[in-house]
Structure 1
Amino acid sequence: MKFFIPAAGFGTRMKELTRDLPKPLLPVNGIPLIYYSLFQAWVQNAEGAVINLHFYGDKIREELRNFKPFPIYFSEEKKEILGTAGGIRTGLERAGWMGETISVVNPDFLYLPEKGFKIVATPRTFSADCALYLLPQPQNASYTGLNLEGDRIRFGTGDLFYVGIGILESSVLEPIEPETYADL
């Protein structure tokens, strides 16, 4: 499976912690967050990963300069940040991965799944162009709540939250022009 790791964001909710460091490099137990995402990809036998860069992207590139378990393709958003959908679309285009099924693993959510967890290639298991992995909202948590309404996910005050892992048929991004801003 091929992976996309969105790492271009400004980390504004982290305030002072990201003043001089991009959020994917914030350490948890001495390990930068992005390595937890790369570990998830490695456990899933990643063929490669695209990581988009913008805010302190040079620091992320430098941190990962000796990463060897699988190929990493950096997609720099130099002039302006492209948003989640624009960043994914542009990164996949640059890597030559349009037409592929991609797993998106966010580097700002620490999730250590149970042994044997597998990211399933969605189109082979049920009919969907995109699937998000959700869990029940912990008591007193402040995550963005999600509701399931039939086959749709609605943002709001629901009792589920997105764990930062999803599957995406890249064809859903074809209407978006590469190098343009688009959010999900």
Structure 2
Amino acid sequence: MTRKKQLKDKGFTLVEMMIILSIFAILLGILIPSLNTLVDYRATRAAKSISSGLERMRTEAMSRLVAEMKLEKKSDGYYISYCLHKGKQAGMVWTDEEKIAPARTSIKYRLAMKDSAEIKTGESIILTVDRSTKGFRPLQSAAVTTDEVNALIDNNEDIAYHDIDGAECCDIIVSGTVKKGIISLNQTTGKCTVTSG
């Protein structure tokens, strides 16, 4: 008799299993929209970080010989960093790398008269402004090096940037699950505006 009772008490009954699954489904239904809101919040925050990074880069470019901002995607997310000329001795220095968004976020850029392209893992875009016009330059194929800057200073020449022909970046689009943050770059003034979509 005791053996029969032990076998009977093992495991869940069908009713108990249905109750547990129902509770789990309700909790999952509450949790998923909360996670989507978190991803959208991070996307909005990333758009604001990019916008303030562009403004910082613009300010640095006006007070230094060269300032560039790199937006790149690594395996764990998106980062921005700055390449600044810190004088002839220090030269060009990459500084202040900051993670702005997790890898689940999507960041794309759109060139004038072209479709948008997503920044994939291992890829980056380099942005800078023209000190004389204060407007954005085309995307850069590489950052300006210390040797290039020093040679140009010694020869009393203008900085030679690595412009990509026809690569004027008009928008940077940061997407969460539902919301988008669109950073519009004004090519002539070097300013940017952030809108939500």
TM score, norm. by length of structure 2? 0.24
By relative contact order (CA 8 Å, sep 6+), the higher-ranking structure is: 1
Q: Which one has the bigger helix percentage?
A: 2
TM score, norm. by length of structure 1? 0.25
